[in-house]
Structure 1
Amino acid sequence: MSQVFEGYERQYCEVSANLSRKCTAAAALNGEQKKQKLSEIKAGLDDAEALIRKMDLEARSLQPSVKATLLAKLREYKTDLNNLKTEVKRLTSPNANLAARDDLLESGMADAMMVSADQKGRLLMSTERLNHSTDRIKESRRTMLETEELGVSILQDLHQQRQSLLHAHNNLHGVDENIGKSKKILTAMSRRMSRNKWIIGSIIVALVAAIILILYFKLR
């Protein structure tokens, strides 16, 4: 399911539940207080309609298999919104206060206003949707925590591998230094060998020259 749709759905459920509570409260008010409460309710209805439109656009942009399920849920939300609008119209009618007083007298309730069956149904439906949304949020959070733990484990493994690579790099650097020293030693030994060859060659030449001189004087 689309996470965007779920976000709009959660917002709508919260707005719907809030509107139901405000309708219940408005039924027990009179005068300016009731007008102010109805003004807040109408603003909430505008927000609810905007959320319905957003959910509709999001649902129609998805794959057919997912879109059918979301559009079915959207029809329920539209019905819920229409019920809210009907309730607001009833509250704004001239006989709303009289009807509310008659309901209070018939029910024998001393409280300001008893929640109607439709309002109870909307509240129960909104509460159930909120609970479902909360469960999905908890599930998403659990998945996020598991992913975070997996990410931490991967980072720890990468850190260990990095330490191993650094250790290997240090070892290679030490080997490289040893090779450089060995190369210098071999170069020095090669130079000494070359110098010794020249010295031995010079000695041999000198000995040959001395032998030739000795033989020459002896023959004379």
Structure 2
Amino acid sequence: MSQVFEGYERQYCEISANLSKKVTSATVLDGEQKKQKVSEVAGGLEDAEALIRKMDLEARSLPPGVKATLLVKLREYKTDLNNLKSEVKRIASGNANQAARDDLLDSSMATASADQRARLLMSTEKLGKSSDRIREGRKTMLETEELGVSILQDLHQQRQSLLHAHNNLHGVDDNIGRSKKILTNMSRRMSRNKWIIGTIIALLVIAILVILYFKLTRRSST
């Protein structure tokens, strides 16, 4: 594994743990203290996001085997960072919603009727429901992104398998070609040997006939 990536990873884990503690403490605070704590967390999130980008660049510059492992870890860190961002936004929006609700109630209590106050309360409830739907939409988007990354990894692995199979088939074709050449050479040698053997046999037959001829001519002369 890259030492540079490990250094960024250690820094991110420290920042993430510190931010988680601050987010937890911010949930029990009120007023200016809560705003200050949320502001500190927002600054830390920027540092964590910068480290994520550095880890991403470092991982993509490494060999494929190492890169795939580091990108899996990097997705987990991105998910962790997104969860922290969502939690901070929830706390911040909770402050804004509460402040807006208090202002609306304070300004209307003195002059508005009971029906108007009911409508104001209904509006604040709709605002809360809208915030919940937005959070659910963000969660669905993150899950879809993770699924897309997983599919891309599967396609990459399948492509590597196909390339490996293609290389194996190419090697088999080369072996078949060499075997064909060897068989062709053997066939040529067998044909040449056949002609040589046939010629030798023909010469032997001629020699035997010549010998028989001379023997017969000698006998007839005696």
TM-score normalised over the length of structure 1: 0.45
Answer 1 or 2: higher relative contact order, Cα 8 Å, separation at least 6. 1
Q: TM-score, normalised by structure 2?
A: 0.45
Largest Rg, 1 or 2:
1
